[in-house]
Amino acid sequence: MAEVYTLHDLISRQVLDAGQDKPARLAVIGWPIAHSASPRMQQAALDAAGIAARYVRLEVMPGQVGEALARMRELGFIGCNVTVPHKFEVMGCCDVVDAAAQTLGAVNTVSFEAGQTRGSNTDGPGFVRAIADEFGVALGELKVLIVGAGGGAGQALAVQCVMEGVKRLALVNRTLEKLSPVLARLRGLAANCEMLGLALEDSALAEACATADLIVNASSVGLKPGDSPVLPAAWLRPGQLVYDCVYQPKPTPLLQQAAARGCRTADGRSMLIHQGALAFQQWFPGSGPLAVMRSALAGPASEA
């Protein structure tokens, strides 16, 4: 199986499935995409369910998402997952976007149904379940700070936090420009939640970090080799919950320094599993892939 497919491979079934015994019917699209562990767990779920299909990585450049979806639909794909940086772009490429995804402001799951491209979002619900699994606490009981809140995943998590009734929500981004419309929308959803927006260089960020119960990295910082931690170690405190949506390398730079400071830490594999299971259940109603997916990502093999 090819590690990564491209738009060119969607030219025909003959090219896409050359040398394979099962057709590619599902994919994860992103830029870059080679790091994604989604195929490992999704393929395991397909195999366990006896579904003769492959789940592949598809590298799609920004601006080409609509063409990629059109080609997948022509080739009889069931659907796809969507990761950075396409969660905004894909919204405009769908014929129908469900109410939850519209509220969350991003799409991470696409289904091709009855000639239509339908967009939904399992990131938010997957995040809620991941926090409960990892830390044994309900998200709504926490004061939350999200780094990278201007991106598709970060915005979806921010909206989910508000929907869960968090006490306080701090949104952090490289610049404040992307946060203004996000904060306006969030305040329209929950006027009683204390909210603030901060740039990474803001002098108030250190205090915001220190007073947060849960710090979430929803940015891509930490994904590339040599990335520095997204926040200084001195801003973290013992006992604090730190969740990095990035899951490779393991542990990420943020989680390494958080653990050294005595924080309770978890990486994005739990969210990946939960959102992936919810997506699988959309494609195959009545299925129960969670245990199989969890097993597939357990241990060193999950880094592949």
CATH number at residue 163: 3.40.50.720
User: Which of 97, 121, 145 is a domain's end point?
Assistant: 121
The DSSP H or E segment spanning 25 is: strand 24-30
Residues 153 and 254 in one domain: yes
Same domain, 262 and 130: yes
**Contact predicate 47/40, CB 8 Å:** no
131 and 247 belong to one structural domain: yes
Residue 301 has a pLDDT of: 40
pLDDT score recorded for residue 300: 52
Same domain, 90 and 194: no
- The residue that leads in pLDDT, 289 or 226, is 289
110 and 166 within one domain: no
Same domain, residue pair 116 and 212: no
Question: Would 297 be classed as within a structural domain?
Answer: no
pLDDT value at residue 96: 97
Q: What is the pTM of this model?
A: 0.90
Residues 157 and 100 in one domain: no
Q: Please say which residue of 121, 149, 178 terminates a domain.
A: 121
Closest CA to 209 of 218, 219, 198, 221: 198
Same domain, 117 and 129: no
Higher pLDDT residue, 249 or 230? 230
Decide if 298 is inside a domain: no
pLDDT in tens, 176-189: 988 998 899 899 88
- What pLDDT, on a 0 to 100 scale, did the predictor assign at position 142? 97
pLDDT > 60? residue 303: no
**Same domain flag for 244 and 152:** yes
Same domain, 112 and 131: no
Catalytic residues: 87
CA 14, 18, 20, 26 torsion-angle sign: negative
Q: Closest by alpha carbon to 167, among 188, 149, 145?
A: 145
pLDDT of residue 304: 32
58 lies in which domain range?
5-121
The overall average pLDDT reported for the chain is: 93
200 and 86 within one domain: no
Asked if the structure places residue 290 within a domain, the reply is: no
Domain boundary among 87, 105, 121: 121
- Minimum mean pLDDT among 157-166, 225-234, 258-267: which range? 225-234
Tens-digit pLDDT profile for residues 49-74: 999 999 999 999 999 999 999 999 99
CATH number of the CATH domain containing 33: 3.40.50.10860
Q: Is 144 found in the same domain as 117? A: no
In the prediction, which pLDDT does 278 show?
97
What backbone torsions phi and psi does residue 13 show, to the nearest 5 degrees?
A: -65, -35
Domain count across the chain: 2
